[in-house]
């Protein structure tokens, strides 16, 4: 049993994350509790209180107590909490500590100094239970995000904790990996573990969660049972800022019909890495110009290689023909722009204004301010770009693309880990860019984003474009059927 007694917490001034206020909460053994709410509502903070990262890792002002049975977690050192609470985090790339999968699964047990025989036994059992056989003996650097997340679950599982805490575990996963994660959660639930999960994407959890807590501004505002939660009306859900609860009946405002007036031609987009992963072979494709094109497909289908080739980042790869203009990779470096998943990689200067000026052919402050104003960034112009929130950074990157006159902008998973309102903001920016006549490619695993702004879909598999259709009524069905049934695709 986990018990929060009058718990309040606030981070130091530097942190953008908001704290929590006066939480009283009891979670019974074996319950699966879903924490939802918009970004900054305090759901992550709540998970950090259970796994002890607050107050032992993240500093701030804490009052009240968090108890687990007869143990006061806030007073227990982290390595003792580790044996009873297991944690899985958002980013697959930063939560493994070893470089090979076997060591990673044994890692927690090794830290706690369990006897060698016991560890071997536990690793074997965990591998069997979570079906990790095919991932054993591999380098973690060569795994996909979904596979890494599976290993992270295994590593936690081997410690045999009573409580599992997950903080937005699906943010960086593709549709198939989310199904895998769901299966893992089901296994844990069957084992009688208490599960606490903070999440934006809700559709894969509606059948698992016993109890749903809705947080806002650091407080628990509403509580639902699974049954009540499923019956939430679309309107209420939207008002609460929650992502959709099921992929079966996603709403879409109006089906868009493209007229395919102008097109562009891709030729010889072929590329392969020395590792052989994520190769690309598109010999010929016609894609509409001036549309918002969703690029879908599972991880490893070649989507990011496609994006890199499009932006001219892979040398001598492919030719793009637009209105009789032929653009080779070198010309595309100046014609296209990528808004990366981690926009922190592409902001270099010490202020937002400098960032825009850097992208201009000739520096013109007035012009720069105009663009900033349009993207709602003018108030932030003297801030350090790396101190901004994710969405703001994204807009700065967009501004620098606009100001350097790029015609094609590629977005790499722009909505991973975003709540409904932030996702809608992104969709809004994308639609505005289209109004200006830009062509946008959006690599995404987010069907809601596709429905709220995209007009065309290219679906990739094994480095090829297998489907290429506009998002009319039939197109929407086609697109959704992939997200509802990704496993079929994976096994083919």
- Taking the least distance from each CB to other proteins, the nearer of 101 and 455 is 101
| Cβ atoms 58, 88 nearer than 8 A | no
- Residue 334 binding other proteins, by CB under 8 A: yes
Measured CA to CA, the distance from residue 401 to residue 404 in angstroms comes to 5
Greatest Cα pair distance in the chain: 74
Q: Is 94 in the site for other proteins (CB under 8 A)?
A: yes
H or E element: which one contains 107?
Answer: helix 101-111
The per-residue b/e assignment along 350-389, b for 16 or more CB within 10 angstroms, e otherwise, is: eebbbbbbebbeeeeeeebeebbeebebeebbebebeebe
* Site for other proteins contains 344 (CB under 8 A): yes
Contact status: 254 vs other proteins (CB under 8 A): no
Q: Which residues contact 120 (CB under 8 A, 6 or more apart)?
A: none
User: Collapsing DSSP states into helix, strand and coil, what is residue 417?
Assistant: coil
Closer residue to other proteins, CB minimum distance, 122 or 456: 122
Candidates 62, 197, 396, 398; binder of other proteins (CB under 8 A) is 62
Stretch that binds other proteins, among 82-90, 186-194, 317-325, 441-449 (CB under 8 A): 82-90
Name which of 30 and 55 has its Cβ closer to other proteins.
55
**Residue 87 contacts other proteins per CB under 8 A:** yes
Residues 5-34, one symbol each (x = binds other proteins by CB under 8 A, - = not), give -x-------x--------------------
Q: Which of residues 209-238 bind other proteins (CB under 8 A)?
A: none
Is the CB of 155 or the CB of 429 nearer to other proteins?
A: 155
- 358 sits near other proteins (criterion: CB under 8 A): yes
- Residue in the structure block whose two tokens are 């998970």: 47
Whichever of 113 and 324 has its CB closer to other proteins, that residue is: 113
Site for other proteins in 139-158 (CB under 8 A): 139-142, 152, 155-156
Closest to other proteins by CB, 53 vs 213, is 53
State yes or no: residue 93 binds other proteins (CB under 8 A).
Answer: yes
CB-neighbour burial class of residue 345 (10 A; exposed 0-12, middle 13-18, buried 19+): exposed
Question: CB count, 10 Å around CB of 324?
Answer: 5
Instruction: Please count the other Cβ atoms lying within 10 Å of the Cβ belonging to residue 466.
Output: 12
Query: Does the footprint of other proteins cover residue 486 (CB under 8 A)?
Result: no
86: contact with other proteins by CB under 8 A: yes
Contact in structure between 471 and 458 (CB atoms under 8 Å): no
- The yes or no reply on residue 275 touching other proteins (CB under 8 A) is yes
CA 49 – CA 10 distance, rounded (Å): 12
Among 171, 296, 359, 452, binds other proteins (CB under 8 A): 359
> Residue 85 or residue 479: which is nearer to other proteins going by CB?
85
274 sits near other proteins (criterion: CB under 8 A): yes
């Amino acid at each position: 049993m986990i018990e929060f007694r009058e718990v309040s917490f606030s981070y130091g001034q530097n942190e953008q994350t908001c704290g929590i206020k006066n939480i009283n909460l009891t979670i019974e053994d074996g319950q699966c509790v879903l924490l939802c709410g918009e970004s900054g509502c305090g759901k992550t903070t709540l998970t950090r209180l259970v796994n002890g990262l607050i107050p032992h890792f993240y500093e701030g002002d804490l009052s009240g107590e968090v108890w687990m049975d007869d143990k006061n977690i806030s007073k227990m050192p982290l390595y003792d909490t580790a044996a009873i609470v297991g944690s899985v985090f958002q980013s697959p790339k930063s939560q493994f500590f070893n470089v090979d999968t076997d060591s990673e699964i044994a890692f927690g047990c090794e830290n706690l100094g369990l006897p060698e025989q016991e560890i071997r036994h536990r690793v074997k059992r965990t591998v069997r239970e979570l079906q990790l056989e095919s991932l054993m003996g591999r380098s973690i650097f060569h795994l996909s995000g979904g596979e890494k997340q599976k290993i992270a679950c295994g590593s936690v599982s081997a410690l045999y904790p009573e409580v599992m805490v997950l903080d937005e575990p699906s943010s960086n996963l593709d549709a198939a990996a989310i199904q895998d994660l769901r299966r893992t959660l089901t296994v844990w639930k069957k084992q009688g573990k208490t599960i606490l999960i903070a999440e934006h994407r809700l559709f894969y959890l509606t059948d698992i969660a016993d109890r749903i807590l809705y947080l806002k501004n650091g407080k628990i505002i509403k509580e639902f049972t699974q049954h009540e939660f499923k019956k939430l009306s679309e309107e209420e859900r939207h008002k609460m800022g929650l992502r959709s609860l099921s992929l079966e009946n996603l709403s879409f405002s109006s089906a868009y019909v493209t007229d395919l007036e102008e097109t562009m031609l891709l030729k010889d987009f072929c590329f392969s890495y020395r590792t052989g992963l994520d190769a690309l072979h598109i010999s010929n494709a016609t894609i509409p110009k001036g549309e918002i094109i969703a690029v879908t497909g599972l991880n490893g289908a070649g989507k990011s290689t496609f994006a890199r080739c499009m932006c001219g980042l892979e040398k001598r790869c492919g030719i793009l023909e637009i209105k009789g203009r032929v653009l080779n990779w070198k010309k595309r470096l100046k014609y296209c722009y990528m808004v990366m998943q981690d926009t922190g990689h592409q902001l270099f200067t010490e202020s937002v204004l400098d960032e825009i000026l850097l992208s201009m052919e000739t520096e013109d402050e007035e012009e720069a301010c105009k663009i900033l104003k349009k993207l709602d960034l003018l108030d932030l112009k003297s801030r350090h770009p790396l101190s901004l929130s994710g969405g703001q950074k994204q807009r700065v990157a967009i501004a620098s693309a606009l100001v350097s006159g790029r015609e094609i902008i590629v977005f790499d998973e722009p909505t991973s880990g975003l709540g409904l309102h932030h996702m809608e903001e992104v969709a809004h920016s994308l639609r505005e860019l289209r109004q200006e006549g830009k062509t946008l490619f959006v690599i995404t695993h987010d069907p809601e984003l596709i429905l709220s702004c995209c007009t065309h879909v290219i679906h990739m598999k094994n480095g090829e474009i297998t489907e290429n259709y506009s998002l009319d009524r039939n197109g929407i069905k086609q697109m959704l059927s992939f997200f509802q049934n990704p496993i079929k695709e994976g096994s083919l």
